[in-house]
Amino acid sequence: MVFEGLAEKLQDTFKRLKGKGKLTEKDVTEAMREVRLALLEADVNFKVVKEFVNKVKERSIGSEVLESLTPAQQVIKIVNDELTDLMGKAQSKINFSSKPPTIIMLVGLQGAGKTTTTGKLAGMLKKQGKRPLLIAGDVYRPAAIKQLQVVGEKVGVPVFTMGDKQSPVDIAKAGIDHGINHGNDVVLIDTAGRLHIDEDLMGELQDIRSTVKPHEILLVVDSMTGQDAVNVAEHFNEKLGIDGVILTKLDGDTRGGAALSVRAVTNKPIKFAGLGEKLDDLEPFHPDRMASRILG
Ligand code: GDP
């Protein structure tokens, strides 16, 4: 599970700190050195680690903390607060349009879990009482359309497709019209992914964006790729502008570097987390709960 390694190391560090009773500045500095190493080992972006440790140190070394009756507890609370902040403070939700349908565009590289996640999100919205429609816009990957139809069927959400001979822009436009005519209040457009970021992919996504003007562009990234996921997010955000990130495969990511760095590096929130292959393994991302997972 995510943060396994980090949780173990930080909990060890804090156990030692608690065992000391009264703390000196040196104790805090030593603990922060361990926190720094643990975060780096968890593959957190090094700039993010540096800022994080400096902030925690600054807040911990004040006399209020060191001279309190439970200094270690105070330091742990500060780490907890700062970890929560790092991941975005509060849960960040989908920005629904006041005038339906809300148009959500899902983007990402091949293999990140985009098609599965699009289906999961549609299923989650349906359970919340929405009437979603999936639009099959990945016309390049063989079987992508079929795959979306299969997940759509499993979650009980209709899938709009025009096969793979039309342009994704035309499919997206026609799909939205179809949704409007059928009373769908949310449409989710599954777009093509490539193995790597390239100009063609970005150009096509920019065309879809400028034509359909989505209310949300959600980037799906694979958390197991660590800092690569963060670089992908930075790049998509620069070229396309994203509203949020969905981090997939957190169930297999023992380190958690992407979860801890994406927000600070891109300034865009993580909105959902994928926690398994099943179609109900998608959860809203709660920074505070994630932080508690690390600190136990
Ligand atoms: P796409 O190429 O981005 O559309 O990726 P797919 O949706 O085809 O997913 C690629 C693989 O990742 C599939 O085997 C999915 O079952 C798997 N997958 C997607 N999300 C998760 C997740 O949150 N956890 C796990 N363990 N597997 C996932």
Residue-wise pLDDT for 46-105, tens only, equals 999 999 999 999 999 987 888 898 999 999 999 999 999 999 999 999 999 999 999 999
Residues at CB less than 6 angstroms from ligand 1: 108, 110-117, 193, 248-249, 251-252, 274-277, 281
Q: Which of 224, 277, 285 to mutate to test the pocket of ligand 1 (most atoms within 8 A of CB)?
A: 277
Nearest CA to ligand 1 atom 11: 113
Give the pair of three-digit tokens for residue 286: 């709660």
Q: Which residues contribute to the annotated binding site for GTP?
A: 108-115, 190-194, 248-251
Q: What is the pLDDT of residues 58-70, one digit of tens each?
A: 999 987 888 898 9
- Report the C-alpha gap between 253 and 259 in whole angstroms: 10
ipTM of the complex: 0.99
Q: What is the pLDDT of residues 262-292, one digit of tens each?
A: 999 999 999 999 999 999 999 999 999 999 9
Nearest CA to ligand 1 atom 16: 277
10 Å Cβ neighbour count for 18?
15
pTM given for the model:
0.96
